[in-house]
């Protein structure tokens, strides 16, 4: 176990006094390794809160640079960061919040050739990506590598999230099977997103990571939480692992492959 | 016939199948929804052959692909 300094004991005091976390929980947080895929609308709040919480090792993946149109919701980046790699911009802010943690940046996009090697090094993964090809790729990789993760998706005024413990709880493909046909998909640039909605969902994902790591409460396993911010209605749908699931079922996948990419920039 | 759709009880004509239900319920893009019937996910190919019964519970789970 790790000895906390006086500075850390003070910094994390509001966690430590929580009955469900305590000093043991904070030690688990300090020893945890979390990978955040995407430093955008969802990844920004996740990265800020996990850094502040004191996750000992955080990996952050994104191949993009900060663009002016990102700043309406990607709250980890500032106006002065336009043109800077998102992972660098994110790392700077996270280190400014908490110098006690270690951050590894991956300035790239993940695909079938690199995802497994990266995902394997972590205890928990956050899906903060913006397209179905990446979301299904992350699900495949986490199922194959047996790494729990949080799925997140947002659209306009809505969001949804589920947490996945591979082979024990339902995976993303148990619920959604495969990416929808490309002509049916509204992309973020064509569909829009209320910036604060990204924050709502991202903070739920950060909370799920911290719950999983500390064992506090019950993560959203076998549950899809969805909300509509216009009516501010939240709904939880329960389900079970599908034994015939294309990915995690009895005849599930044994290899990683790329899905057809429809990015936010795709013309639709 | 009463069925529970997305947590709301609604009245439908007897013998309606899932494909017809999607139309009546104004699901504009059936490709963008995953359908759960009484805790089981239904494959798209089966929509027209599955006839609803009184008391069925149906959830439409929409694909949401954004995040950045
Ligand atoms: Zn599955």
pLDDT of res. A265: 45
What is the nearest CA distance from A5 to chain B, expressed in angstroms? Answer: 36
The answer to whether residue A261 scores a pLDDT higher than 80 is no
Q: Which domain range does residue B33 map to?
A: 2-62
Give mean pLDDT, residues A143-171: 97
CB-based contact B31 A198, cutoff 8 Å: no
Of the pLDDT bands very low, low, confident and very high (cuts 50, 70, 90), residue A266 is: very low
In-domain check, residue A198:
yes
Q: With beta carbons under 8 A apart, name residues in chain B contacting A154.
A: 64, 66-67
Q: Which domain range does residue A82 map to?
A: 32-238
CB-based contact B7 A153, cutoff 8 Å: no
- Which domain CATH number covers B32? 3.10.20.30
pLDDT of res. B49: 95
Give mean pLDDT, residues B43-61: 94
pLDDT tens across A41-80, in order? Answer: 999 999 999 999 999 999 999 999 999 999 999 999 999 9
Q: With beta carbons under 8 A apart, name residues in chain B contacting A158.
A: 62, 64
Number of domains in chain A: 1
In-domain check, residue A27:
no
In-domain check, residue A3:
no
Q: Lowest mean pLDDT: which of A15-19, A118-122, A167-171, A260-264?
A: A260-264
What is the nearest CA distance from A217 to chain B, expressed in angstroms? Answer: 24
Give mean pLDDT, residues A97-116: 97
Report the 10 Å Cβ neighbour count for A161.
Answer: 25
- B29-63: b (≥16 Cβ within 10 Å) or e: ebebbbbbbeeebbeeeebeebebeeebebbbbbb
In-domain check, residue A74:
yes
Q: What ipTM did this prediction achieve?
A: 0.90
Of the pLDDT bands very low, low, confident and very high (cuts 50, 70, 90), residue A193 is: very high
Of the pLDDT bands very low, low, confident and very high (cuts 50, 70, 90), residue A251 is: very high
Greater model confidence, A2 or B60: B60
- Which domain CATH number covers A109? 3.40.50.720
Of the pLDDT bands very low, low, confident and very high (cuts 50, 70, 90), residue A220 is: very high
- Residue A209 Cα distances to A23, A33, A97, A222, A234, angstroms: 18, 10, 19, 16, 20
pLDDT of res. A187: 56
In-domain check, residue B68:
no
Q: In chain A, what percentage of residues exceed pLDDT 90? A: 91
Interface test with B, best of A153, A222, A236, A263 (most B CBs within 10 A): A153
Q: With beta carbons under 8 A apart, name residues in chain A contacting B29.
A: 184
Token reading at A17: 């006094």
The answer to whether residue A29 scores a pLDDT higher than 90 is yes
CB-based contact A158 B64, cutoff 8 Å: yes
Number of domains in chain B: 1
Give mean pLDDT, residues A221-248: 96
pLDDT of res. A155: 92
The answer to whether residue A103 scores a pLDDT higher than 60 is yes
In-domain check, residue A256:
no
Single out the residue of A159, A134, B43 nearest to residue A149, CA to CA.
Answer: A134
Interface test with A, best of B5, B31, B65 (most A CBs within 10 A): B65
Q: Per-residue DSSP letters for A100-133?
A: TSEEEEE-S---TTTHHHHHTT-SEEEE--SSHH
What is the nearest CA distance from B15 to chain A, expressed in angstroms? Answer: 25
CB-based contact B67 A239, cutoff 8 Å: no
Give mean pLDDT, residues A217-227: 98
Cα separation, A222 vs A238, in Å, equals 6
């Amino acid at each position: 176990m790790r000895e906390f300094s006086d500075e850390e004991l003070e910094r994390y005091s509001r966690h430590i006094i929580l009955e469900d976390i305590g000093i043991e929980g904070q030690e688990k947080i300090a020893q945890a390794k979390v990978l955040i895929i995407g430093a955008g609308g969802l990844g920004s709040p996740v990265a800020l809160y996990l850094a502040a919480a004191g996750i000992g090792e955080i990996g952050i993946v994104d191949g993009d640079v900060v663009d002016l149109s990102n700043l309406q919701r990607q709250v980890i980046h500032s106006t002065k960061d336009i043109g800077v790699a998102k992972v660098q911009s994110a790392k700077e802010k996270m280190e400014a919040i908490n110098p006690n943690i270690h951050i590894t940046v991956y300035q790239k996009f993940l695909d079938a050739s690199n995802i497994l090697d990266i995902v394997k090094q972590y205890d928990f993964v956050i899906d903060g990506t913006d397209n179905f090809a990446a979301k299904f790729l992350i699900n495949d990789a986490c199922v194959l590598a047996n790494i729990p993760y949080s799925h997140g998706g947002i659209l306009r005024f809505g969001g949804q999230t589920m947490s996945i413990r591979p082979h024990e709880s339902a995976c993303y493909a148990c619920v959604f099977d495969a990416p929808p046909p490309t002509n049916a998909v509204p992309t973020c640039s064509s569909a829009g997103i209320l910036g604060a909605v990204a924050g709502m969902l991202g903070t739920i994902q950060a909370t799920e990571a911290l719950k999983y790591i500390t064992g506090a409460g019950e993560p959203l396993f076998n549950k899809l939480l969805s909300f509509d911010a216009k009516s501010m209605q939240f709904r939880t749908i329960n389900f079970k692992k599908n034994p015939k699931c294309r990915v995690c079922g009895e005849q599930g996948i044994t290899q990683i492959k790329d899905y057809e990419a429809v990015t936010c920039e795709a013309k639709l | 016939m009463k069925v529970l759709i997305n947590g709301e009880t609604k009245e439908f004509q007897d013998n309606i199948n899932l494909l017809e239900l999607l139309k009546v319920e104004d699901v504009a893009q059936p490709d963008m929804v995953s359908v759960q019937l009484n805790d089981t996910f239904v494959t798209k190919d089966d929509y027209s052959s599955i006839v609803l019964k009184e008391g069925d519970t149906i959830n439409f789970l929409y694909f949401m692909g954004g995040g950045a």
